[in-house]
Structure 1
């Protein structure tokens, strides 16, 4: 199963990388937006669907909120996933 998590773009890349700063449930991480950036115009405040550090699609805020509600309904499974995400060092370089 592919689990995508919605995140809000906080900062777009200012260099030659595709690494944008994204907020996921209050946790900020660098996410590669290269797969979406070529197809869609992205801006701060946009919502994206993230899987294993890559943005897969641009989504609207209502879709993001619906996905977050569904994830929260998973209870302990989602709580553990967010705890792991919060403590992971991946994507925190340069923050």
Structure 2
């Protein structure tokens, strides 16, 4: 099972012949290989697992997921 927070792609780079997304969530940036996904663009939302972008989400899917994460974080802070 993978619990991943949707991250917004802010840049796409190429290193050593491989394409990577630079994705961000709340100011934290992460580099993810794009080997498993096609047609990822700046502004897309992706899920990252072990350094790979594993799923591309619609903006609506990402919004719903991010709202759920925010509720969880808020509940944890209140404990």
Q: TM-score with structure 1 length normalisation?
A: 0.66
**Corresponding residue for residue 64 of structure 2:** 66
Q: Does 1:35 find its partner at 2:36?
A: yes
> In the superposition, relative to structure 1, how do residues 78 and 4 fare at CA in structure 2: closer, same or farther (>3 Å)?
farther
2:5, 2:47 within 8 Å by CA — same for their partners in 1?
Answer: yes
User: Which is richer in helix?
Assistant: 1
The answer to whether the Cα contact below 8 Å between 2:14 and 2:20 also exists between their aligned partners in 1 is no
CA RMSD of aligned residues (A): 2.2
Aligned length: 76
Gaps (5+ residues) in structure 2?
Answer: none
**Structure 1 spans left out of the alignment, 5+ residues:** 80-95
Q: Could you tell me which residue of structure 2 aligns to residue 23 of structure 1?
A: 24
**In structure 2, do the counterparts of structure 1 residues 78 and 22 end up closer, same or farther at CA, with 3 Å as the change threshold?**
farther
- Runs (4+) of structure 1 exceeding 6 A deviation are 76-79
